[in-house]
Chains A and B, each alone.
Chain A
Amino acid sequence: MKPALIHKIIPHSIVDGPGNRTSIFVQGCNLKCAYCHNPETQQVCSNCGICVEKCPTGSLYFENGEVLWEEEKCDSCGSCIQHCPYHSSPKPKWMTAEEVFKEVEKNIPFIRGITVSGGECTLYPEFLQELFILAQKAQLSCLIDSNGTTDLSQYPKLMEVCSGVMLDVKAWDRKKFKRLTGGENEMVKKNLKFLAHTNKLEEMRIVCIPGEVDVEDILEGIKTTIGDKSRNIKLKLIKFRNHGVKGRLKNTNSPSDEYMKDIQRKALEMGFQHVNIT
């Protein structure tokens, strides 16, 4: 049983895949996206303890050099995250797949599946596999929401129990990707191809910011890489919103509705058939 550091579990979510789902957010990400809208899931707590002093309800405390959290006392004021020099949170808990599934189970029969997001959930492949085996036994579909930087072809057993991956394609050009995320995108392209060919590509997502993200370049890249497969896979064009953003783009404005519609039209013209704006 390999546990994962769990940031939070949303019992009912309508924005993380088809139908009603329980969403599980892991803590920790290998990218540092300039537009990340939940930066508190990026870094794992370093136990520096600054948040302990700032907690108004006394629900955080030190024990053996670790910051611990007493959930009952907490009123979710957000002071800990606000004062953390790493924008992290002291609240995530190490949980096994069984422990997480116990939380999921409470929402059956109101959900059709689960989605694991983050942070970057593929940093915990063994945990994912164990969780998905439990969920599949309960007839729940299992989706991964990923930045695509883990080589998924190396985890055939996980892919067997995974119903699909919602893949971020943040940039196509290597330099642009690096500038936006601090990371490399070769693996994202490899995963795109692998998932499309194994019919595990549930959705492709692009966060749209004019000047920062070259959407047309991404669409061209996708088309060249997966060809006709791109026609029937959902493409979600996400309008950038700076709410919660703490990175470089925190003061950047959202693109206009006209811009989004224009991009959508271009995508349709290029042969993508299921294009949604959110």
Chain B
Amino acid sequence: MTDVLDLIKSRKLAYEQKVLSLAHAAENSVDVLHIPEKTKYYFEKNAIDHLFEGNAPYRPRYILPDYDKFIENGSEFLQLDPPKDLDELLNSLMILYRHVPSITSFPVYLGNLDKMIEPFIAEYSDDEVRKKLKLFLNYLDRTITDSFCHANLGPEYTRAGRLILEVEKEVQNAIPNLTLKYNPDITPDEMGELALNTSLFCANPAICNHKLNKDTYCCDYGIASCYNILPLGGGAYTLSRIVLPKAAKLAKNIDDFFHTILPDCLQSMGDYMNERVSFLVEESGFFESSFLVKEGLIDKDKFVGMFGIVGLADCTNILLEGTGKRYGHDADADDLADKIMHTISDFVTSFPAKYSPIAEDHFMLHAQVGMDYDKDVTAGVRIPVGDEPENISDHLRHSARFHELIPTGCSDIFSMETTARNNPAAMLDIVKGAFSLGVKYISFYEENSDLVRITGYLVKKSEMEKYRNDQVVLQNTTQLGAPNYDSNKLDQRKVRGV
């Protein structure tokens, strides 16, 4: 129990962070999942990784409530009538968010905010709405102390969406992450340009390729946590990942990788995920007791298991060691990476997943973006930081190729020169081009920005500096972000001049 005592005595954790860490320690004091020896071996080698989700799953990892239904019906459990005006709406949402669980215990999805707010602002001036939004957004930032939290905008232009972006630029908050669902046929250039320009002042919002993502499920989708594309009114039970470079290191050669190590890891991870989902659905009682289920805000049949992969670049480079060929720079390397992706995708789209009708009884591939303890593991299918191609056109063509097989979230991040602020139309041209080729999700920040995107979530450089100096910080993602920023040398991310 030393760990528990260490948590209690910690000088770096805020009170709430201690409570959550202690809950995690309590969960890990029980053993309820059956894990075969072989799977344990791959866990030990970190070739597969359960991401410390905990030993006894008692809530889904990511939940995306149907907020429209909540706004229409109110909530019996929370004793809330349907909101009649903007104050009631924002207040009701603040209450509901507090009761949406997740792997971090904070809500990871806040809804399509602009569309939720738009019907309530007709009678207010821009300044009046801005003031209310500012209070609302600051409340979220200071109480949801974890950046794995996401609100969506678009794809249509709304006055509410414009005002949210204007306030966001002013408040410079890390939370929530914002994403604009963007479709050039629906979203006016003016809105796309405003979003991109805002992102060069506060690293928010990111831009999601609405055309390519909207038909991922038979129901509507939302973007949750970092950038996970998940069914609305459901979410994700769990996310595990295969750490491809660690798997590659276990292989004697390329043949051994494809014929033994990779299939073994995939099978072990698939079985393990089914084990987690089974316990959550059959034994934890979550779906029987949560008011979110009873009031129809979520439905068990709209949850998926996210099958994560990370470090495709490093894996490819390890397998090609000695040839001088590199992922993102040589056709042979990219073809090998493509073969790895197809092998994984073929497994995932045929392996039977439990309780996953929305995904036709399979798990779904996700480009996991890394953990604070990763070293030499590049996010998802990205090109390693510092090794990016000289021309952003080559970079984006590469992204488009490797985003293709990943339905539940795959993204790229670009650091931009300050001058890009002067020409939002140029930024939009790049996004339009990238999306037309198949890039699914993209985000930008300005090179000197205090707010930076680590892997998918936002952290302030100034807060990381405090944390490095052993000060208590408000947001627990700062604790994840600081080591990640350092060990992945994110300050060396190639700055693009457009």
Q: Is B422 an interface residue (CB 8 A)?
A: yes
Q: How near does chain A come to B192, taking the closest CB pair, in angstroms?
A: 12
Instruction: List CB contacts (< 8 Å) of A96-140 with chain B.
Output: 106-112
Partner of B391, one of A11, A19, A21: A11
**B436 and A19 contact, CB distance less than 8 A:** no
B393 interface contact, C-beta 8 A = yes
Q: Which residues 13-57 of A sit at the B interface, judged by CB distance below 8 A?
A: 13-15, 18-21
CB atoms of A14 and B391 under 8 A apart: no
Contact of A20 among B394, B422, B430, B436 (CB under 8 A): B430
Instruction: List residues of chain A with CB under 8 Å of any chain B CB.
Output: 11-15, 18-21, 106-112, 278
B423 at interface (Cβ–Cβ under 8 A)?
yes
B360 at the interface (CB under 8 A from A): no
Query: Do A110 and B396 touch (CB < 8 A)?
Result: yes
Q: Are A110 and B425 in contact (CB under 8 A)?
A: no
Residues of B at under 8 Å CB distance from A?
391-394, 396, 419-420, 422-423, 425-430, 432-434, 436-437, 496-498
Does the CB pair A19–B425 fall under 8 Å?
yes
Q: List 17 A-B contacts (CB under 8 A).
A: A11-B391, A12-B391, A12-B392, A12-B498, A14-B497, A15-B422, A19-B426, A19-B428, A21-B426, A106-B391, A106-B393, A106-B394, A108-B433, A110-B393, A110-B396, A111-B433, A278-B422
What is the CB-to-nearest-CB distance from B262 to chain A, in angstroms, rounded to a whole number?
A: 34
Q: Note all chain B residues with C-beta closer than 8 A to A12.
A: 391-393, 426, 430, 496-498
| Extra pairs beyond A12-B426, A19-B425, A110-B392 (9, CB < 8 Å) | A11-B391, A11-B392, A12-B496, A15-B419, A19-B426, A19-B429, A110-B434, A111-B433, A112-B429
Question: Once bound together, how far apart are the Cα atoms of A110 and B396, in whole Å?
Answer: 9
A41 to B118, CA, bound (A): 54
Contact B391 A109 (CB under 8 A): no
Chain B residues contacting A111 (CB-CB under 8 Å) are: 429, 433
Complex: A14 Cα to B496 Cα, angstroms: 11
Contact A14 B423 (CB under 8 A): yes
- Return chain B residues, CB-CB under 8 Å to A18: 425
Cα distance A112–B436 when bound, in Å? Answer: 14
The residue of chain B having its C-beta at the shortest distance from the C-beta of A103 within the complex is B391
Contact in complex: A20, B391 (CB < 8 Å): no
| Chain A residues in 8 Å Cβ range of B422 | 14-15, 278
Find chain B residues with CB under 8 A from A278 CB.
422
Bound: A112/B497 CA distance, A: 16
Q: In whole angstroms, what is the CA distance A161 to B361 when docked?
A: 56
Establish whether residues B429 and A20, one from each chain, have CB atoms under 8 Å apart when the complex forms: yes
Given the interface contacts A107-B393, A109-B437, A110-B392, does A13 sit within 8 Å of B498 by beta carbon?
A: yes
Instruction: Give min CB distance, B46 to chain A, whole Å.
Output: 37
Given A19-B429, A110-B430 in contact, is the A14-B498 Cβ separation under 8 Å? Answer: yes
A18 to B423, alpha carbons, bound, how many Å?
Answer: 8
| Residue numbers in A under 8 Å from B433 (CB-CB) | 108-111
CB distance from B485 to the nearest CB of A (A): 27
Contacts of A106 in B (CB 8 A): 391, 393-394
Q: How far is the CB of B164 from chain A (nearest CB, A)?
A: 26
Complex Cα gap A107–B419 (Å): 20
Closest residue of chain A to B425 (Cβ to Cβ) is: A19
A21 CA to B420 CA, complexed, in Å: 13
Contact A19 B393 (CB under 8 A): no
Cβ distance B440 to chain A, nearest Cβ, rounded Å = 16
Q: Is the CB of B392 within 8 A of A109?
A: no
A86 to nearest B CB, angstroms?
A: 28
Interface contact B423-A19, CB-CB below 8 Å: yes
Cβ A14 vs Cβ B419 within 8 A: yes
